[in-house]
Amino acid sequence: MPELSTVNVIDYAMILLYFAIIIWVGIYAARKNTSTDDFFKAGGQVPWFMAGVSNWVSGFSAFMFVAAAGYTYKNGTSAALLFTSAFWAYLLGYKYFAPMWRRARLQAPLEFMTRRFSASTTYFFTVCSIPIQVVGLAQGLYILAIFVSAAVGLDIETFNVFGLTLSGLQMTMLVVGIVMIVYSVIGGLWGAVLSDAVQGVVILVVSILILPISLHYLGSGGGEGGGMFAGFHRLIADLPSEYLWPHGDPTNPLFLGSYIFSMILGYNVAWHLVQRYNSVPTERDAKKMALLCAFLSLFGPLLWILPVMASKLIFPEISLLWPNLEAPEEASFVSLAMLLLPHGMIGFVVAAILSATLGHANDAFNWLSAAMTKDVYVPMRKKFGLSEPSDHHQMRSAQVFMLIVGVMGVGFAFFIAKLGGAFEFNLKYFSMVMPSMLMPVMLGIIYRKTPWWSGMACLIAGVVTTFTLFGLDLFPNDVYPRNVIGTAISTTLVFVISAFFYRADDPRSAEAIKLDRDLRTPVEEEPGQTDPAAMQVYGMVGNVCFVLAVVLVGCTLLPATDVAPASINAIGAVILVILGWALRRLAKVKVV
C-alpha cells in the first residue's frame, strides 16, 4: 500500500492563505454594495461568464469530493451517469427557465412567490425554508469538518478556547464556520460570485493536475512502457468488467429518472439559481450562462471521476489508510492528492474542498437573507403601520439575518457531532423536503392560472405525501425514487385541481396576471445596459491567480519526493499564470 504524505506547515499556510483571500474578496465586494439591489443581485451587472462559473461551482460541496468520490470508488462508471446528469437540467434551463427567470425581473428570489401566488405564500415558504437551510448548512459543515479534521490530523487533537475544551472536529467546524459567516455577511451576492470564481480557479487547477498525474503513476506501476496512456490501459485491463460498465441504481430507470428530475428541479428553480439569472444584465446573458453550466456539468466531473477510478487500483485496501473514517472510500480523491502532489499543492486540495462547501453555503445565506428582508421584514413593518425602512437599513437587516442563520447552522453542526452524525438521514431528509419546496415553484412558472393559495396547497400536499410514505415504510428498497415520484405526483395533482378554482376577476389574481405578461415579454437589450466597470472583477480574480502562482513557485524550493516532484507546483503555477493573464485580458474587453 503506498505511503501518503502528511499535511505540513506549508500546507497549513496555503489553507490560511486561502481563508485570507476569501475574506479579502468579501471586503472587496463590500465596496460594490451601495444598495440592496447590489447586495442581493449585484445590481444585475455580473458578467455572464463569471455568473455561470459561480453557479456551477456553487453546485459543489464537500459532498462532491467526499461522498461522490466514495460512490465512484465503489461503483465505477455508474458515477458518470449520475454526476453528469446536471447537463440535461441546464440544457432545459437554456431553452426555457433562464429566459423566464430573467423576464420575471426579481430583486429577491422569493419575490416570485409573492407575484405568482401571494404574500402569505412567501411568508409560508420562507418560514419553512429556514429550518431546512439551517439543517443543510449544519450537515454540510459537519461532513466537511469530519474529512478535513482527519486529513490535516486534527481529529486526535483538543483545543482550549475561552475556557471551553473543543475537539479537533469541533475546532474545524468553528473556524470554517466563522470564515463562511464573515465573508457572506460582508460581501453579499458580489462576494458570493467573486469567491465562487476564486474557488473555481482552485478546483480547476487541482482537477487538471490530478487526472494526468494519477494515470501516469498508474501506468508507471505496471503499464506497457509506462506513462499516462499506459495508465489508461491499466484502468481498462485491470478493473473488473462490471466496474467499467454502468450497473446498480443508475441503471434502474426509476432511480435514474428520479435523479435527473431532481437535477431539473435543483438546477432550474432553486432560489440561488434564480438569483444568478437575475444578476446578469440581459436575457441573452442568462441563456449563455445556462449553456456554459451545461458544458461544465458534462465534462467537468470526468476530471475527477477517472482519477478516483484509478485510485481503486492504487489503493485497493483504502480502509487501511483511513481506519478512523466510517466510509474510508470517501477519502479516495484526497488520498490521491496526498500521494501524488507535493506540499503546497496538497494544501490546495484541502482548500478546494473547503471552497466548494463554502460557496454552496454562501448561496443559501444570500437568497434566504434576501427573502427574509424583502419579502417578510419590509412587508411586516408596513402591516404594523411602521414606515418603510431605508435601503441602507434593509441591507444591514439582511446582514443581521445572514449572521443569525450562520450562527444557527454552526451551532446545529455541533449538535449533530454530539449525535455521532447522520449522513444517511441527511440524504433521506432532503429527498423528502426539497422536492416539496421546489415543485410548486416549477409548476407555478410553467402554468400561471391557479389561485393564490395553490402554492401553499402543493407544498403541504408534498410534505404530507412523503412523510406518509416514510411513516408507512412503503417501498423501503426504493426510498429515493419513492419520495421524488410521490411528491411530484401529489403536488402536480393538487396544482391541477386548484386550477379549476382560478378566477381572473379575483383581485388577488391581478399580480399573477402582471407576472404572466412579464414572462411573455422578452427583456430588451439597451445601449449602456451593461456597466463596463463590472468587467473589472475579472481583473481582480486574475490578480488572485498571480498571487497563488507566486506562492506555488516558492513551493518548488521545498523538499519533494520522486512520486510527487516539486515540478508539479511549477506546472500549477504556469496554469495559474495563463488563467490570470486570460482574466486580465478579459477585464479590458470593451462592452458594446
Residue 316, C-beta contacts closer than 8 angstroms, at least 6 positions apart: none
Mean pLDDT, rounded, for 311-315:
89
pLDDT of residue 421: 43
**d(C-alpha 286, C-alpha 292), whole Å:** 10
The alpha carbon dihedral of 294, 299, 303, 309 has a sign of: positive
Q: What is the mean pLDDT of residues 13-41?
A: 68
Min mean pLDDT across 49-58, 306-315, 398-407, 550-559 is at 49-58
- What does the pLDDT read at residue 443? 96
DSSP state of 376: I
Residue 276 near residue 79, CB atoms below 8 Å:
no
Task: Inform me whether the pLDDT recorded for 306 exceeds 50.
Answer: yes
Question: Which one is predicted more confidently, 56 or 194?
Answer: 56
Q: Is residue 492 over pLDDT 90?
A: yes
Better pLDDT: 58 or 483 = 483
137, 439 Cβ separation under 8 angstroms: no
Radius of gyration of the chain (CA): 24
Distance between CA atoms of residues 197 and 55, nearest Å: 9
Cα–Cα distance list, 64 to 57, 82, 174, 489 (Å): 11, 12, 22, 29
Nearest to 40 by CA among 29, 27, 24, 53: 29
Calculate what percentage of the chain has a pLDDT beyond 70. 83
Mean pLDDT along residues 131-151: 75
Highest mean pLDDT among 214-223, 294-303, 409-418, 450-459: 450-459
Average of per-residue pLDDT across 289-313: 88
Residue 253 CB neighbours (<10 A):
9
What is the predicted pLDDT for the residue at 538? 79
Instruction: Give which of 184, 13, 130, 173 is closest to 368, Cα–Cα.
Output: 130
Highest mean pLDDT, choosing among 235-239, 464-468, 501-505: 501-505
- Residue identified by cell 460581501 is 187
Mean pLDDT over residues 276-301, rounded? 87
Could you give the percent of the chain with pLDDT greater than 90?
19
pLDDT for 37 equals 53
What distance in Å separates the CA atoms of residue 564 and residue 87, rounded to the nearest whole number? 34
Across the chain, what does the average pLDDT equal? 80
Cα distances from 205 to residues 258, 469, 549, in angstroms, run 33, 44, 11
Q: How many residues does the chain have?
A: 592
Query: Is the dihedral angle over the CA atoms 266, 271, 274, 279 positive or is it negative?
Result: negative
pLDDT at 419: 52
Least confident of 131-145, 181-195, 243-257, 443-457: 181-195
Residue 144 makes CB contacts below 8 A (sequence gap 6+) with 61, 62, 66, 176, 353, 354, 357
- Which residues, listed in sequence order, are joined to residue 161 by a DSSP beta bridge? 164
Residue 228, helix vs strand vs coil: helix
CB 222 within 8 A of CB 234: yes
Q: How confident is the model at residue 220 (pLDDT cuts 50, 70, 90)?
A: confident
For residue 161, the model assigns a pLDDT of 78
Rounded to whole angstroms, the Cα distance separating 61 from 176 reads: 13
| Cell numbers found for residue 433 | 423536503
**Structure confidence at residue 222 (pLDDT):** 46
Spatial distance between the Cα atoms of 442 and 504, rounded to a whole number of angstroms: 21
In order of their start, the domains of the chain are 9-421+504-524 (1.20.1730.10)
Q: Which residue has the higher pLDDT, 568 or 402?
A: 568
Q: Give 533's Cβ-side CA count (13 Å radius).
A: 5
Q: What pLDDT is recorded for position 73?
A: 87
HSE-CB of 535 using CA atoms within 13 angstroms = 14
Model pTM score: 0.79
**How far apart are alpha carbons 137 and 402 in whole angstroms?**
12
Using DSSP's 3-state secondary structure scheme, residue 403 falls into: helix
* Local confidence band at 422 (pLDDT 50, 70, 90 cut-offs): very low
pLDDT given at position 361: 66
HSE-up (13 A, CA, CB side) for residue 109: 27
Residue 17 amino acid letter: L
Task: Check whether 344 has a pLDDT greater than 70.
Answer: yes
Say if residue 456's pLDDT is above 80.
yes
Binned at pLDDT 50, 70 and 90, residue 380 comes out as confident
The pLDDT tens digits of the residues spanning 46-80 come to 777 877 877 777 666 566 777 778 888 888 888 88
Extended strands (E) in 97-163: 158-161
Please report where in the chains the cell 460582508 appears, as a residue.
Answer: 186
Best CA proximity match to 567, nearest among 577, 557, 576, 575: 557
> What pLDDT shows up at residue 464?
92
- Cα separation, 490 vs 532, in Å, equals 48
